């Protein structure tokens, strides 16, 4: 019986000794107020306990340094508080709209806008040839009338069925286009002189215009092809659409938030 009591007492002693042994604390369990939020803000991925301990030490050192500086009382606290408040407001507004616009202006929203505003992303173009009799601001009226008469002569010859390239070679003062039979190639609507654009985009293929004047001189134009509507690809305009939609969404949300004051 005595041996049994001794064995029982020994067992209790051993077990109590095990339970009183201090638990080991790894560096992964160590933290400080705001440290985990700091890691998330900095988007830092912890590699291991050693990495975490190093970062924690750096975080605590900066916290201690800031606290020590603040206690010195050598800085203007009102100005510091004002600067911190401005930063706080800027950060809140920026983060809010970053999240709001991400949810509002999705890839699907951009594509839907492109599809529903197809006409806004079409360019018309024409392929033309011309005969040019050059004028300038310093030219007197008699000389200008000579240019107009020459342009009318070229037009008359074309109306009798003469080949446009040959008449251009004989009359045109546009040295570059003359080498190609007067051809200017494909021109986009709005990318050329307004009077020139207005005239050629009202023509049909094969039409030859009467002489008309632009800032460059008197033209006689033949419409070779077009007008054709060419749709700009989504990839070329998606950035502009996204920017436009984000601005609209931001303005609308600003008005909503300010109305709730």
- Confidence check: pLDDT of 54 > 80: yes
Q: For 34-45, how does the pLDDT look when each residue is reduced to its tens digit (9 = 90+)?
A: 999 999 999 999
Predicted TM-score (pTM) of the model is 0.52
- Give the residue from 124, 108, 125 showing the smallest Cα distance to 234: 108
Residue 64 makes CB contacts below 8 A (sequence gap 6+) with none
Q: Does domain 123-231 have CATH number 3.40.1110.10?
A: no
Each residue's pLDDT tens digit, 203-250: 999 999 999 999 999 999 999 998 998 888 999 999 999 999 999 999
Mean pLDDT of the chain: 88
CA distance 220 to 66: 79
pLDDT attached to residue 30: 62
Q: Check pLDDT > 90 for residue 16.
A: no
190 pLDDT band, cuts 50/70/90, is confident
Q: What is the C-alpha separation between 4 and 9, in angstroms, rounded?
A: 9
Which of 120, 121, 148 shows the shortest CA–CA distance to 133? 148
Domain boundaries in the chain?
102-118+233-259, 123-231
CA-nearest of 53, 66, 63 to 27 is 53
Cα–Cα nearest to 109, from 232, 236, 255, 248? 248
Q: What is the pLDDT of residue 261?
A: 66
CA 6 to chain centre: 84
């Amino acid at each position: 019986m005595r041996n049994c009591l001794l064995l029982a007492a020994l067992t209790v002693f051993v077990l109590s000794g095990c339970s009183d042994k201090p638990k080991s604390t790894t560096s992964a369990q160590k933290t400080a107020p705001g440290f985990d939020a700091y890691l998330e803000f900095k988007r830092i991925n912890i590699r291991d306990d050693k990495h975490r301990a190093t970062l924690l030490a750096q975080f605590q050192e900066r916290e201690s340094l800031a606290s020590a500086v603040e206690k010195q009382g050598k800085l203007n606290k009102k100005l510091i508080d004002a600067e911190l408040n401005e930063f706080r407001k800027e950060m809140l507004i920026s983060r809010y709209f970053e999240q709001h616009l991400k949810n509002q202006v999705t890839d699907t929203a951009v594509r839907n806008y492109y599809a529903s505003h197809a006409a806004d992303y079409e360019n018309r173009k024409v392929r033309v040839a011309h005969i040019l009799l050059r004028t300038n601001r310093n030219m007197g009226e008699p000389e200008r009338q000579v240019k107009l008469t020459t342009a009318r002569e070229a037009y008359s010859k074309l109306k009798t069925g003469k080949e446009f390239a040959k008449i251009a070679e004989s009359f045109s003062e546009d040295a570059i286009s003359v080498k190609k039979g007067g051809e200017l190639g494909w021109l986009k609507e709005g990318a050329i002189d307004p009077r020139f654009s207005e005239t050629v985009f009202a023509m049909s293929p094969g039409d030859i215009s009467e002489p008309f004047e632009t800032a460059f001189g008197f033209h006689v134009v033949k419409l070779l092809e077009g007008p054709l509507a060419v749709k700009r690809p989504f990839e070329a305009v998606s950035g502009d659409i996204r920017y436009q939609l984000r601005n609209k969404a931001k303005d609308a949300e600003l008005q909503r938030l300010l109305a709730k004051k």
